[in-house]
Structure 1
């Protein structure tokens, strides 16, 4: 599983939603989760995360996250990001 430039894909998921409280990661409504996308590396995911987080800065309960999917798919791997 490699990209055309020879780099290994390190998939990252960016998603977010409105939290019930600021003290915990419990979403108000799972049906309203915003799945931003799946990205081939951390840098690209971080760019998408920043854009979504900045666009919702007025809502303190809205949070976006980056999930390192490659770590879930291959937990034995020593990939840094």
Structure 2
């Protein structure tokens, strides 16, 4: 008997230097760090936390978790 697979909820981790510290616009899109796509929030969060801690000395550098599953299927926004 096989175990049921958990629902795949894709999350993207990206980061880069922002134009303004309180904004969400990147200074240079060519330098955006596309870290990867992860199958769930917990995995994405662990990677986000690691990348964020590596750049803690740069106030303009930010990493984000994008809930791709909500963009792909907005009607089912788990």
TM-score using structure 2 length: 0.92
1:16–1:78 Cα change, 3 Å: closer
Structure 2 residue ranges without an equivalent (≥5): none
1:27–1:77 Cα change, 3 Å: same
Alignment of 1:40-79 (within 5 A): 40-79=39-78
Moved over 3 A (4+): none
Paired residues, what number?
76
Distance of 1:6 and 1:51 partners within structure 2: 27
Match of 2:7 in 1: 8
Structure 1 residue ranges without an equivalent (≥5): none
Structure with greater proportional helix content: 2
1:29–1:8 Cα change, 3 Å: same
